[in-house]
Structure formats: structure tokens, C-alpha cells
Amino acid sequence: MPKVFNWHINREMEYPYPATPPTRQFAAVFDTNKCIACQTCSMICKNAWTSGRGQEYMWWNNVETKPYGGFPQGWDMKVLSLLGPQSWDRGTNTYTGMTLIESALAAAQGRQVTGYLPEDAEWGNVNIGEDEAVGLIEGGTSFGLPHPVWSFYLQRICNHCSYPACLASCPRKAIYKREEDGIVLVDQERCRGYRECVRACPFKKVMYNVATRVSEKCVACFPRVEQGLQPFCTIGCPGRIRINGWIHSPQEADLESPVDFLVHGRKVALPLYPQFGLMNHIYYVPPIHVPPEYLRQMFGPAVDRAMENYRQVKDDPEMLGVFMLMGATDRWIEKFRVVQGEAVGYDAKGDEIARVPLKEPVVVRPNFDPVLTVYRHNTM
Amino acid sequence: MGPTGFLARGVALAAVLAAVGLTTGGRVLAQQEPFYAAAYVSELPTDPRSPVWGRAAASEVPLIPQAGILPALTQASVPKVTVRALYDGERLAILMSWQDRTRDALSGRPDLFRDGAAIMFPVTEGLPNVCMGAAGQVTNLWHWKADWQEDIDKGFQDVVDHYPNFYKDVYPFVTGSPPYRMPQDFSAPEAQAYLAGLSAGNPLSQPLKSSPVEELVSQGFGTATHKAAQNVSGQGVWTDGTWRVMFSRSLKAADQEAADLQGRKQVAVAFAVWDGSNQEVGARKQLSSFLTLAVGEETNQMPVWLWGVFAAIAAATVWLGWPALVRRSPRE
């Protein structure tokens, strides 16, 4: 099997195809700390892409409460159990365990990738476990970091991986990664509904359409991306927790690009379960109130530094600038700059497409309005 | 009887056996590979349960799990299939029957897989790779699907058939009333845009089927392609743990991608079976090696064991009859 380099785990790994990186790679940063699980992202995606016959159960975008929530139910615990022990060399941030493709279980299953096919019922409760914390808050519990009782929200779409498990598993080569932006798509004409991809994708973001009997997945709103627009789930977020951008390897990082800046520059955003070995491109700012033991399993050993760096955000105008640019425009921000207390986003042509203050001005209005001769209550 | 007489009796026996051997020689050689003959009938049956199938010899074909390529089947769930073949001079009909405890005819749920059966013929000259051919080695596949059969027998097995209590408030551009039905309530072009597989022209997504058998052309694993012309008809019936699935097509190939069976006395053929409840789909199947099917050898329908009986009778006659024969000789 060919060897490819995966900088998420800082080593070469096996993959059925040689590395053929796209011209540029679709990516996003999601700040888990700001999410309130309102599911607006889920609904905007549903309305845009999965409101058809056979897609009733599909949520290409979902938000689940960790540690117990999951769509499909228990996907993460099941995959982690199948993969077995996962070890890192913490000195070099090198993953020393097996990836889902390297795992001996894959061959034992007669498959390219270690995985499982969720049962029907597991897709049936999209938001089971919502707002369930790890325990009850006992009398006398006080807040500190990390929280003794905690939960957090995990926003999930397809990761548009560099080494997708779905693509690796498809015997028909019906899944392809676009050369122009790295978006991973299922060829709707070529797919024959075998569901090898559904079984292989650990994030369970390929789903079988029960009416057309072929599989479908998150398309990263590619018609929008082609027009220089960010996907619906990004721009629909009222909490402004998401931003899209092109991701590069650490050596080629473009620190004027918002995603590269957060991932490589400030190192506050990390891929989910990098040990799966897929080089997945949704990067998460880890929830800083959660015990790091849990987060290390989820985001790898770099999570401690990410949390530490994130806590510096109020004193870091550039980092604050990128976070303020989240949700500030529906356009795709190619580059950003912080100028005189404002963060400015630019499109591919270098035209300004967003300008936001690093600190929103505080306006105190008197409760009597002499123009309209009315009193206002401070409800807004 | 002296030693000379014994020798003469032995020579005569050898001569008779040689004669029988020469007559059957071609058959014996052909028998080195499994050899299945299609029986001639004036009218082909249209039902896999028809008694007419009894006129074709039943051949048991062993199946092995596909393990040459991933995804592989690690253990066979269907170790053999019984095959019968009939022809009427115009069309060839093949019946496959096998034991399967579960009837898996639904695929409209994320975790349900259909049962299936397939027959493969080479299209290009020579014997192709049994794994669906190879580059330049074109094969013609006839793939019967239990879910297609169900769609034909009972109407398209829709979301509402799999989930009777489901409710969804609205579908874009739908007509009719809840819970709606495919395909009629989704026939507006705008509504079809939300059925991506169907919009893309994927034959698997087509709710209306004219045959439960899909005809494909292939040049190796992963290359099976729906043929532009679909000419294989069929029917599958499951009763008491047994699938009986029949296929039929004209002997003459209707197009370049189809195997031409007209005027070819020996045709290579291979079989495959899928058990849906074992999540068998695609390359996860059990298959046979290539076998030889004889079509149109009406005069040579006698099985080899019968030739063996003839040989034994002839040998016994010569051996036992020899003394009487020599006694009548004038020289004695």
C-alpha cells in the first residue's frame, strides 16, 4: 500500500492511493466555546440540501452534546473501541498507534478501512443526549477550570479529508476529491449504494438515501464555494462560531489566511480524532472548560497548548480579529488584517469584504427619548 | 479354455471398450470441466416454479466467497447453487435456485441489503478473468435484484413502506397529499431535483423498473456499468427458504456489449449469489468458476455415467458371450 504523509499525526501512513493533493484544500475552524447548540446550522443545511424524499433522516450538519450525544448514536465511542488503544509520542506529537486503515481489524473484516455500519435505529435520534452533562451538580460545587461537571457542543459536517476513508473504501471509485478545492463528493451517477463508504467513514458523514438507494454526503456547499461564498452552515450561525478558509501544511502556511492563522499561527484549532489517520479538515477550538484528559483523546496531545493559547485571545489583537471576522460576511475570506482596532477581511481579488471592530462599542442610551417622547426599558 | 482363448477374449473386450471410449471420448474430455447442457423445449417457462424446468438436468455449482479483492467476503453463506438451463431455439432461460433462510427483498433502509443473483458471460474472445473480466476482456452480466423484484411485484418500495409511521411536513415541489408516493407525487422537474441519484440518471435510483434483472457490462472489478440496452427478463420467487430465480434472453445478442449465444454450442458461464442479511453487496459475494454451458447440442444429451453403464454392459456381454461365440466357430 502506498505511503502518504499526514502532518496531523506527524508521520507517514498507509493509504490505498498515492497522495495527490488538490490545488487548495477546503477547511473551516469551529469555535466550540461559542456554540449554544441552537441547531440553526443544522436547519439551514437541511433546508438547502436534505429536504428531499429519502433524506428524511439525514443531517449532513449536526450539533451533538458531548460526551453522550451523537449522530448516529455512539459513533465516536464505537469507532474508538474498534480502533483499540491509541498512543501518542507526546514529545514530538507523533501518533504511534494504528490508523483506521492500518488497523489489523480492517483486513480481518475483509475491508479497506476499520469501521461499522450503523443500524437503522442509531440514525433515528439525532439529538439524543442533548444537554446531558457528565454528572449531577452536587451542593457546594464551585466553578473552576476545568469544570467538574461539564458538557459541550460538537458541531459536525464532513471533514473533506485529505485521505478520506469513504474514498478509500469505495470499490467503484464513485467518490472523488475535487482537484480545485479538495471537496469530497459522491458521484451520484456512479454510486451503486453498496454503503462501503457509510461503513468506513468514522464520522458517519456519508449517508444512504433510502429513496434513490445510493449514498450522499455533505457537499461543502460547493456551488457557493465556487462563487467565493462560505457554506450555509458557516454563514447561518447566529453565534458566529465558524469561519472557512484554505488550509495548508505547516511548512506552507499562509498566516494571512484566517484558517491557517488559527491552525498554524496561533495553534488554537485542532482536527477531530487525528488518530483516525484521515487528515480531516474541520478544525476545532477545544472547549476550555472541559478536562484535558477527555480532550486529548479527541484532539490529540496538542490540545493543552491550544487551550492555553486560546485563553490569551483578549490580549492578542490578530487572533481576536479572526474570531471577530467569524460570521461577519457570507463571502470567503482569503486574507485578513487587523488595522487600528478593526479586523478587515479581503476576497481573492484583494477587495475588502468585511470590517469589524475588535471590541464592539458600548452605547448607553438614556431611558427617555426626547424625540419620540417615550421611555425605553433596557431590554435590548 | 486355453491361454489363447483367454487372450482372444481379452482382446475382444478391449476392442469393444475402445469403441465405446472413442464414441464418448469428446464427452469425457469436455467433462474435465463441468459441463451443463441446456435442454430444448418448444416453449420456455415464464415462472421459476414451472414444472417445465424439470426437463432440464439440475447441476449443482459450488460457490466460493470472493476474497481476491477488498471488500471481501470472509465466509460463504451460500455454498452452492443449483442451475438448470432451457432453450427454445430463440431464447435461453436459466434457473438458479439456492437455499437462503431469509428473504431480503428490501433496500430502502440504511442497514438493509437485498438478496441477489448474477450470471456472467464473456463478450470478447477467450475466457476472461472470472472476477468480472479485465481491461480488454469484456463480460456481460445479468444481475437479478430482490429489491427490484419487490418494486415490480408490489410497486416501488417507498419510505412509507419501510417506515409506516413516519411523517414529514413538507417536501419541495411535491404534489398530492401526505405521506406522498414515489414516483408520482415527485414527478415535477423541480421536485426531481431533490432526488440527486435520479436527476443524475442513475439507473439504481429509477423507481420504475421493467425487469428485475439489470444487464451490465464489465471489464474487471469496480467497472460494472449499466448497459444502454436492457434485454434480460427474469423473475425470482422465494418459498420456504429457497430462492428460485430465472433469467431469459434471446440467444442472439441485441448489441455489441451483450454476449452472443446464437450458434455457439459451448458458452462459458459463471454464477454469483448475494445474501442480503449477511450484508453481502458488490464484491462481497460468492461466485463460481467459469463453467461450460452447452446450448443446442440436442443429440448429445446423454450424461457420462450412462456411457459408463453402456460400456459395462458391452464388456459383460463380450466377456460372458465369448465362449458361446467361439463354440459356434466352424474351426472348432
Contacts of B94 (CB under 8 A, 6+ apart): B83, B84, B85, B119, B246, B247, B248, B269
C-alpha cell at A217: 454526503
Question: Does B170 contact chain A (CB < 8 Å)?
Answer: yes
Helices (H) and strands (E) in chain B, counts: 6, 15
Q: In this predicted model, what pLDDT tens digit does every residue of A134-160 receive, in sequence order? A: 988 888 877 788 888 999 999 999 999
Interface test with A, best of B111, B187, B192, B284 (most A CBs within 10 A): B111
Q: Give the other-Cβ count within 10 Å of B91's Cβ.
A: 15
Chain A residues with a Cβ under 8 Å from any Cβ in chain B: 51-57, 108-112, 117-120, 123, 169, 171-173, 187-196, 198, 207-214, 216
What is the per-residue pLDDT across A2-22, written as a single tens digit (0 to 9) for each?
Answer: 999 999 999 999 999 999 999
B 269-308 residues with CB below 8 A of A? 279, 281-284
Given an 8 Å threshold on Cβ–Cβ distance, is B281 in contact with A195? yes
Q: Of A234, A169, A179, nearest to A202 (Cα)?
A: A169
CB–CB contact A56 B166 (8 Å): yes
Alpha carbons within 13 angstroms on the beta-carbon side of residue A90 total 9
Sign (positive or negative) of CA dihedral A101, A102, A106, A110: positive
- How close A107 comes to chain B (CA, Å)? 9
d(CA B74, CA B51): 36
Q: Do A212 and B205 make contact, defined as CB atoms within 8 angstroms? A: yes
- Angle, helices B304-327/B3-30, rounded to nearest 10 degrees: 160
Helical pair A292-299 and A303-310, crossing angle rounded to 10 deg: 110
Lowest mean pLDDT among A114-128, A235-249, A358-372, B51-65: A358-372
Joined together, the cell numbers standing for residue A287 give 472547549
* Best mutation target, B141, B198, B226, to test chain A (most A CBs within 10 A): B198
- pLDDT at residue A78, rounded to an integer: 98
Q: What is the pLDDT of residues B214-224, one digit of tens each?
A: 999 999 999 99
Q: Which grid coordinates are listed for B123? A: 463478450
Specify the DSSP element, H or E, that contains B311. helix B304-327
**Could you give the 3-state DSSP secondary structure of residue B262?**
coil
Biggest CA–CA distance in chain A, Å, is 79
pLDDT of residue B51: 97
Which residues 59-98 of B are in CB contact (within 8 Å) with A?
A: 67, 69-74
Q: Do A56 and B73 touch (CB under 8 A)?
A: no
Q: Which residues of A touch B170 (CB under 8 A)?
A: 51
**Greatest CA span in chain B, whole angstroms?**
107
- pLDDT value of position A289: 94
Do A212 and B111 lie within an 8 Å CB cutoff? no
Give the side-chain half-sphere CA count within 13 A for A31.
25
Give the span between the Cα atoms of A266 and A334, in whole angstroms: 17
Model pLDDT for residues A267-299, shown as the tens digit of each residue:
999 999 999 999 999 999 999 999 999 999 999
Contact A348, A337 (CB under 8 A): no
**Helices then strands, each counted (H, E), chain A:** 11, 19
Please provide residue A336's backbone torsions phi and psi, each rounded to the nearest 5 degrees.
-140, 160
Nearest in space to B86 (alpha carbons), one of B215, B259, B251: B251
What is the spatial distance between Cα B25 and Cα B15, in angstroms, rounded to a whole number?
15
**Residues of chain B whose pLDDT is less than 70?**
1-35, 297-319, 321-332
**DSSP secondary structure code for residue A11 in this structure:** E
Spatial CB neighbours of B54, under 8 Å, sequence gap ≥ 6? none
pLDDT at position A376, please?
80
The owner of cell 473551516 is A28
HSE toward the beta carbon, residue A232, CA cutoff 13 A: 20
Grid coordinates of A162: 485529505
Domains defined for chain B, CATH in brackets: 27-156+208-323 (2.60.40.1190)
For chain A, the average pLDDT equals 96
**Nearest partner of A29 among A260, A337, A306, judged by Cα:** A260
* Residue positions counted in chain B: 332
Reference A147, options A29, A39, A66, A266; nearest CA is A66
CATH of domain A3-131+147-309: 3.30.70.20
Give the Cα-Cα-Cα angle B255, B258, B262 (nearest 5 degrees): 90
**Residue A80 in contact with residue A70, Cβ under 8 Å?**
no
Rounded mean pLDDT, A304-319: 97
Rounded to two decimals, the ipTM of the complex is 0.92
Taking Cα atoms as reference points, which of A216, A210, A194 lies closest to residue B281?
Answer: A194
SS3 content of chain A, % helix, strand, coil (to 5): 25, 20, 55
CB pair distance less than 8 Å for B204 and A214: yes
β-pair type (B213-218, B139-145): antiparallel
Which pLDDT value is given to residue A360?
Answer: 87
CA atoms of A22 and A42, how far apart (whole Å)? 28
Of A206, A220, A213, A187, nearest to A53 by C-alpha is: A213
Residue A36 pLDDT level (bands cut at 50, 70, 90): very high
Q: Which pLDDT score is estimated for B25? A: 40
Q: Where are the beta strands (DSSP E) in A80-174?
A: 88-89, 94-95, 152-156
Domain range list for chain A: 3-131+147-309
Question: Counting one residue from A and one from B, how many pairs have CB atoms under 8 Å apart?
Answer: 128
Tell me the whole-structure pTM to 2 decimals: 0.89
Amino acid occupying residue B92: L
